[in-house]
Each structure stands twice: as C-alpha cells, then as structure tokens.
Amino acid sequence: MTTNHVTGDLAQVGRQLWWLLLLRGIFAVLFGIAAIVWPDITTWALVVIFGIYAIIDGVVALGRAWQTRGRFADWGWWALIGVVSIGAGIVALVWPEITALALLFVIAFYAILFGVLEVIGAFIARKIPGSVWGWRLAAGILAIILCIVLLYTPGTGILAIIWVLGWYAIFFGVLLIVAAFSLRGAVKKM
C-alpha cells in the first residue's frame, strides 16, 4: 500500500468521521454543564444522566469503530471503548437507586477503563499520518486523573462527585471538539 493511498484513505475516513468526534465532545460538554448548573441534583438523576451520556458516548464510539473497521489499527479500541461506555450506562440505568459511594465506583471504573483504553489507542494512532493522537492521549490521561481523584476521596459526597464529573466532562468535551476541528483541518490539507 503506497503512502498516497494511506493518506487518501485517512482523508476519506477523516471527512466521514470528524463530526462524530465533534458530536461526542458536544454531548460531553452538555453533560458537564448540566451537572454543574444543578449541583443539588439527586443521586438518581445523576445516575440517569450519566447512564444516558455513557450510552450515547458508547454508540458514537461504536459508530466510529464500525466505519473504520479493517482500515485502521485502532478501530478495535474504539469498539472496546464503545462497549465499556454502553455497559457502564446500562449498569447505571438498571440500578438507579444505587448510593453515592456505589455511583462513585461505577464512574471511577468507567473512567479508568476509558482512560487506559484511550491512552493505548492514542499510542496506536500516533503512527497514522495526520492523526490527532495527542488529543486522545490528553483525554485518556484526564480520565485516569478523574479516577484517581474519585477513589482518593470516596467519602466526599455526591456534590463533590457532581462537580468533579461535571468539570471533567467539560474539559474532556472541549478536548474532543478541538480534536474534531483539528482532524477536519488536517483532512482539508490532504
């Protein structure tokens, strides 16, 4: 396979998928804003919001995996991230009455799995010309930091979880939005 062929394939995939990355970032920002604007939200409402967000995020990640399967090495990581996200969302929606501490562990588990998978996926994607692997790496590291913060302070209560999760989602969403426009710009130059 020639370099021009790989670049052409990457440009085609980038043109088709940059908006999925953008959509994922927008949903993350909206989730973060909702969590911060309504800090007195109940545990049940937070679980439902998190569950819906995780499922949407997972479906978007699976969509990306489906469209890039067989073309790029990181499609499997996207599929795994999608399955983990959907699984976390389903767990949250099936047991909406879980306590704040259990919610903390569900979110921390989701964050560490997502973070590790995103970091690994970023290092795989760095070999692809024009990829935005640095933004993926930053998002993965941010998710791992969220997990550490949540596990280090488990008794801080649901308000702290809401604030940490809200700010994390906003920063993560902004990183994804920037990555989407970076990918779009890189594709236009190809």
pLDDT tens for 46-72 read 778 888 989 999 999 899 888 888 777
Q: pLDDT at position 165, please?
A: 82
Q: pLDDT at position 33, please?
A: 92
Rg (CA), the chain: 17
pLDDT classification of 177: cutoffs 50, 70, 90 = very high
Say how many CA atoms lie within 13 Å of 147 toward its Cβ.
16
Render pLDDT for 24-50 as a digit per residue (tens, 0 to 9). 899 999 989 988 888 766 567 777 888
Higher pLDDT, 187 or 108: 108
Residues 75-80: what's their mean pLDDT?
A: 87
pLDDT classification of 2: cutoffs 50, 70, 90 = low
Does the structure show a pLDDT above 60 at 4?
no
Render pLDDT for 112-167 as a digit per residue (tens, 0 to 9). 898 998 899 888 888 777 667 888 899 899 989 888 888 887 766 567 777 888 89
pLDDT classification of 171: cutoffs 50, 70, 90 = very high
The residue extents of the domains of the chain are 3-189
Q: pLDDT at position 158, please?
A: 65
Quote the tokens at residue 92: 């949250």
Higher pLDDT, 1 or 94: 94
Encoded amino acid at 99, one letter: T
Please enumerate in sequence order all residues whose Cβ is within 8 A of that of 86, keeping only pairs 6 or more positions apart, or say none.
54, 55, 58, 59, 62
Handedness of CA 132, 114, 34, 166 (dihedral sign): negative
* CATH architecture designation of domain 3-189: Alpha Horseshoe (1.25)
Mean pLDDT, the chain, whole residue set:
81
Q: Indicate the pTM of the whole model.
A: 0.57
